[in-house]
Structure 1
Amino acid sequence: MTDIHAHFVFQVDDGARNLDESLAMLEQAVNAGIENIVATPHITEAATTAGNERIKEHFQIIQNEITAKNLSVNIYLGSEIYYNEFVYQWKEAAWYTINNNQKYLLFELPMFYLPVNVSDFIFQCKLQGITPILAHPERYLYLHKRSELLVSWLGQGCLLQMNAGSITGAFGKRIEWFSRKLLSEGLFSFVASDAHDTENRTFNTLNEAKKKTEQFLDDQYIDRLFTINPLSAVKGDPVLPLMAGDRIFSKNKFKKLLDKMKFLPKSHKDLN
């Protein structure tokens, strides 16, 4: 498996607290069957030279330890960019795109309110030849009833990344239900761990989510979500298009499916 969203670089965000925890997380990842991982530290304010250097320095320290300990995992530098007024100031940073490939960029929205001009940001990314990947949209409750926005963003060429914990129920039944609906319709290109530690939000969740998807998704789509597409994003290669059965999705297909899922039911009895 390849994981494009994880917070294992120590002392740069709310992820790993020290080098030992970084390495413990990576050992856990290896045991979970993850071969490639993108470090995605939160970028939430105007980038500074000191902050930029700290991310690169701590990432390199971890890389050196991986080599010394002969850990069977490849790590790459990226980021999880918080969408705000500083978002356009970061494009020169080494972590701006995944593996500095200038092809894919992971970004997140505010958790509790819908910001303005997201479509403009997606448009500007595409003009630069960068495909934006929206992190865990299933967790933004305001999108559960504004699914037409997902339709628009997907139509612009934005891709979607789901958190493994959303599939396993770590964020509650409502998000688990919505996640399963979206996955069942083939709307996501990636599932990632969003790992922060070794206790609660761990790399193990990715393997657990993969096993759970085997109950309701076909093997081909599972491979795309957990292996093929994530590795393509790391390499800067084209990600496979979203499919409806054996046909590529059309914008009308997106619209019909997402309109159908605008309002969640009061009960979640349809979950197995």
Structure 2
Amino acid sequence: MIDVHCHILPDVDDGSECMQESINMAMIAKEQGIDKIIATPHYHPEFKYLKGEELNKVCEEFKKQLKENNIDIEIYLGNEIYFTYDLIEKISELDFYCLNKSKYILIEFPPTNFPLNLCNIVYELKQKGFIPVLAHVERYIKIHDDPEIIYDCIKTGAIIQINSSSLIGKQGKEIQRFCNLLIGRNMVHLVATDAHGSQRRRPMMKDAYQYIEKKYSKEIADNLFINNAQCILDNKEIIIEEPFEKSMEKVSFLKRIFRR
């Protein structure tokens, strides 16, 4: 499996605190069946997180340590970009990393100041040559209140990511139910760990993969955990199914059940 959202690099943000913890996270990931990880440290204008070439040096040293410890996991570099209202205007000046030097960018939004014009933001990022990957959309109350926001964003060109822990109920049954609502409408393209440590928010994906395989199909599980993520690594277009309109929600869920 491929994890496209993981805070595994040591001492660069609020994720892993040291190299040994990063190594421990990698060992957990390997046991889970993860063999490729895009490290996505936070890129936040108000916090002094490591960025630019210094961040790349940490990534290279981590890869060296993995090799010395015989942990066979490929590490790629990206950022999780925190949205601010001047992001679009300043984006060409910022030294963030796209996901493995691709056109895909991972972006999160302020939960208490969620943008009302999300679809327009997706459109403007697309116009600038990026494909926005919207991180952990199940965490936003605004989207729970109006899932059509995600439908419109997908139609505009966004890629949607949810967290593996949310999918299997670790964040509560309501968030799990919402994840299934989105999947049932073809409105999820990636499942990732958003892991932050080896003791808390660990890089766990196996249970989530098996959950999708059992509830929907192996084909869907492979797309959410492997195939679409590989497209990002290869900088290729993700071929996504048309999202279902709200009126088609129950029909789409039944179609996926009987696909198994």
Q: TM-score, normalised by structure 1?
A: 0.84
Instruction: Indicate the percent of aligned positions where both proteins have the same amino acid.
Output: 29
Aligned to 1:76, the other structure's residue is in SS state: strand
2:136 alignment partner in structure 1: 136
Are 1:8 and 2:8 an aligned pair? yes
Select between 61-70 and 149-158 the one with higher mean Cα deviation.
61-70
| Counterpart contact for 2:43–2:96, Cα < 8 Å | no
Q: Distance between the aligned counterparts of 2:50 and 2:165, measured in 1?
A: 33
The root-mean-square deviation of aligned C-alpha atoms, in Å, is: 2.3
Deviations along 1:125-166, one digit per CA (max 9) or x if unpaired, are: 212332111011111122111222112211101010010011
Q: How many residues align?
A: 250
1:43 Cα shift?
1.1
| Counterpart contact for 1:12–1:54, Cα < 8 Å | no
| Counterpart contact for 2:30–2:73, Cα < 8 Å | yes
Aligned to 2:160, the other structure's residue is in SS state: strand
1:98 alignment partner in structure 2: 99
The 5 Å alignment of 1:107-126 reads 107-126=107-126
| Counterpart contact for 2:13–2:50, Cα < 8 Å | no
Aligned to 1:132, the other structure's residue is in SS state: strand
Task: Quickly say closer, same or farther: Cα 1:98–1:217, change in 2 above 3 A.
Answer: same
Counterpart residue type for residue 199 of structure 1:
Q
Select between 185-194 and 51-60 the one with higher mean Cα deviation.
51-60
Q: TM-score, normalised by structure 2?
A: 0.88
Aligned to 1:85, the other structure's residue is in SS state: coil
1:222 Cα shift?
0.8
Task: Quickly say closer, same or farther: Cα 1:201–1:47, change in 2 above 3 A.
Answer: closer
1:238 alignment partner in structure 2: 237
1:64 alignment partner in structure 2: 64
What are structure 1's unaligned runs of at least 5 residues? 243-248, 261-272
Q: Distance between the aligned counterparts of 1:125 and 1:113, measured in 2?
A: 19
Q: Distance between the aligned counterparts of 2:237 and 2:37, measured in 1?
A: 18
1:70 Cα shift?
2.9
Aligned to 1:105, the other structure's residue is in SS state: strand
| Counterpart contact for 1:151–1:258, Cα < 8 Å | no
Task: Quickly say closer, same or farther: Cα 1:3–1:92, change in 2 above 3 A.
Answer: farther
Deviations along 1:185-222, one digit per CA (max 9) or x if unpaired, are: 32111000111111221112x11111122231111111
Q: Distance between the aligned counterparts of 1:119 and 1:67, measured in 2?
A: 42
1:222 alignment partner in structure 2: 221
| Counterpart contact for 2:118–2:149, Cα < 8 Å | no
Aligned to 1:215, the other structure's residue is in SS state: helix
Q: Distance between the aligned counterparts of 1:49 and 1:191, measured in 2?
A: 25
Aligned to 1:4, the other structure's residue is in SS state: strand
Q: Distance between the aligned counterparts of 1:217 and 1:46, measured in 2?
A: 41
1:193 alignment partner in structure 2: 193
Counterpart residue type for residue 130 of structure 2:
I
1:108 Cα shift?
0.8
Aligned to 1:70, the other structure's residue is in SS state: coil
Q: Distance between the aligned counterparts of 1:257 and 1:140, measured in 2?
A: 23
| Counterpart contact for 1:125–1:131, Cα < 8 Å | yes
Deviations along 1:35-90, one digit per CA (max 9) or x if unpaired, are: 11001111121698963233222111101112222321101000111111352434
| Counterpart contact for 1:12–1:41, Cα < 8 Å | yes
